[in-house]
A and B are shown apart, each in its own frame.
Chain A
Amino acid sequence: MAGPAVFDTANPTAGLLDHLDERLAKELALIAEAKQKGQKVIGYFCPYLPEELILAGGMLPVRLAFGGELESSVAGEEYLKAYSCPVSRSCVGYQVTGTNEYYNLVDAFCVTQTCENIKHVQEYLEKRFTKPVFRLGLPRTCDSTRSRPQSIEYFKGELQSLRAKLGEFGGRPIRDLDIRRAITLCNNIREKLRFIYEYPDQRHTLLDWYDSFKITQAGFLMNRKDYLKELELIERSIIGRKPPVEADGKVRMLLMGSMLGIGDHKIPDLIKETGGKIVTDNTCTGISNSRKNVTVFGIIGDTMEALAERYLYNVPCPCMTDLDRRLKRTSMIIQDYAVEGVIYYNLKYCDNWRTEYPIFKDYLQKELKMPILLIESDYSPSDVGTIRTKIEAFIEMIRGI
């Protein structure tokens, strides 16, 4: 059955990311240029932070979700303890080494108060590296909108104060109209991402997760308007393409857990090498970023409340008390994507994820009969051999050798 032969059917996604890659390669130069013209660059780490506020203030948001680099995580030990998580050590470490060009372009940081480690990062950025830092407070109790209206109130208040500080830093107050425009832009990005991730359906996606993940993370760095154009380009070129019909025999994995930063390939690569494939993720750097739009009701709708609602309830972070919702969501993801096994990635000393593991394990094994494997690791390559054995054994277990 021959369709219009516009692309390689054996490899239907070949070349699809080329344009995006080329554009991303220019990003640092473009940011530097924008800085020259007076535009401010705001670095942030965590997806609880609505980047709409940065965009509305006419500034450039850069999400500094980098990972996987041993050098910076070791450099961070100069200030943070060696048993802080590698993410937080790297955040400080990049300041020490000066090797991350994106960090070097940042004018001010926004830091969300999620866990103990990030609190210390913020203190060092401010006190030792004398960078302007804007804090965003986060309620830990967010069980549901209805049962905790005070959480939304608090978060809204924090967002309002961040808005004021960002406005001051950017040199002009942030107007509601600008926030609405930024919300539209970010919602468009979220919709395109969801479309690309799930096209044509969650169980037979055209793009493999590795490509989708790369596309998502490009959006942490790239000028958001240009990024939307890139997403539109990808969207246009995938419509009509079909994923390979034959099953590839690989074990379908959900990767969940600690932050999987830009550059942290160790676990995804090992899964691929050992005969598995990640079909979706539940991490704070993956598909969760495209979850749910910000909904402002009409022209009188409260933009700040809409942001608070969207951002408080859609990040898979164990610093929150919403464990039940996260368990349920994990089970939904497992069903939607026909997952056969769960890899629970715990960055060493990420205490929140590690502590919740036995609960997730119990829930998945008993309620869903779903195999789950804990992988504890950091940015050092020393454990590759053992992790490979663990994942291989896990795959053998699922296939039933």
Chain B
Amino acid sequence: MIVVGVDIGSTTAKAVVLNESATIWSAIIPSGNSPPSAGKEVFALAVKNSQHTMEEVSYVIATGYGRVSAEFANKTVTEISCHGRGANYLNPATRTIIDIGGQDSKAISLDEHGKVIDFMINDKCASGTGRFLETAAELVLRVKLQDLGTLSAKATDTPNISSACTVFAQTEMVSLLATGVPVENLVAGLHRAVAARVSSMVKRIGIKPTVMMTGGVAKNSGVIAAFRKELNIDVVVPTNMDPQLVGALGAALIAQEMAKNGGTGRV
């Protein structure tokens, strides 16, 4: 018997397969222009990776903004609960989660049992999200998204990017480039801008150690460094798992619990 958690985000769809002995298989694909089919596809891919068959799947939970269209799921659960569960599983000392995905950012506060006690979702705009970094890197700075971390490590200075708006921040970067500011420094500035934006939200729910960062942006070591500086506290990333998968893992863990409870569960 296996259970599956599927996290259909704005940018990528993720799936995690769990068996009874807590072995984990996963898959990540771009959401493309059809989140419903991306969800189905990533679900099938993860099951295939696990060498199991679809018939062996006993329970599926869908999460992420595309969860509403996941007809294959037994149940849907929000990203907040899933990230909370996933982070608690990976590191039970986690009390604060910073999740930055493709299109939104979240701050989640957990109690000592791993239960969500408060949360915030940034719904203002794309500022402080993966999309913000992506457009700035690829359209303005002409560097690859995955190189941002190593680039910012070489920065000699961190220029101030003051605008909170994605569009205006890009204008600001263009003029900084024109004055001869090196790309590495601008990347560091960009990371600080993201950390500053999201930190103000995290501070509102209160920061308690251990702080874990999840979501695709957690793969960028420059952003992690900027958060450590901004919050003046250590920020950890999952060590034995892709941080992008934490939501899907949480969904799979909740699915496991539901399957044990005969599919009724508390939700």
Contact = CB atoms under 8 A, between A and B. Distances in A.
Interface centre among B79, B80, B85 (most CB of A within 10 A): B80
Contact of B77 (A383, A385, A386, A401): A401
A191 B204 CA distance: 42
Interface string A367-401: 00001000000000001011101101100110111
Contact of A392 (B78, B104, B115, B254): B78
Contacts of B267: 396, 399, 401
B121 A397 contact: no
Nearest to B103: A386
A399 B85 CA distance: 14
Contact of B78 (A365, A383, A393, A400): A393
A23 B78 CA distance: 43
Contacts, number: 49
A396 B119 contact: no
A396 B116 contact: yes
A140 B141 CA distance: 53
B81 A397 contact: yes
Given A383-B123, A385-B65, A397 B117 contact: yes
A396 B81 contact: yes
Contacts of B85: 401
Interface string B97-125: 00000001000000000011111010100
Contacts of B81: 393, 396-397, 401
Interface string A178-205: 0000000000000000000000000000
B121 A396 contact: no
B142 interface: no
Interface residues of A, number: 16
Given A396-B267, A401-B254, A389 B79 contact: yes
A6 B204 CA distance: 54
Nearest to B113: A400
Nearest to B265: A401
Which label, helix, strand, loop or mixed, suits the secondary structure of the B interface?
mixed
A371 B117 CA distance: 8
A389 B101 CA distance: 15
A393 B119 contact: yes
B266 A399 contact: yes
A228 B123 CA distance: 44
A385 to B, nearest CB: 6
Contact of A396 (B80, B104, B118, B204): B80
Contacts of B119: 393, 397
Given A389-B121, A390-B121, A397 B80 contact: yes
Contact of A401 (B121, B123, B266): B266
Interface in B23-77: 65, 77
A295 B65 CA distance: 53
Contacts of A400: 115, 266
A358 B200 CA distance: 14
Nearest to B257: A401
Contacts of A389: 65, 78-80, 121
Contacts of A392: 78
A386 B78 CA distance: 11
A379 B170 CA distance: 30
A389 B123 CA distance: 11
Contacts of B65: 385, 389
A393 B85 CA distance: 13
A393 B115 contact: no
Interface of A: 358, 365, 371, 383, 385-387, 389-390, 392-393, 396-397, 399-401
16 contacts: A371-B118, A389-B65, A389-B80, A390-B123, A392-B78, A393-B79, A393-B119, A393-B121, A396-B78, A396-B267, A397-B115, A397-B117, A399-B267, A400-B266, A401-B77, A401-B267
Interface of B: 65, 77-81, 85, 104, 115-119, 121, 123, 204, 254, 265-267
Given A393-B119, A400-B115, 8 more contacts: A371-B118, A386-B104, A387-B123, A393-B121, A397-B81, A397-B116, A400-B266, A401-B77
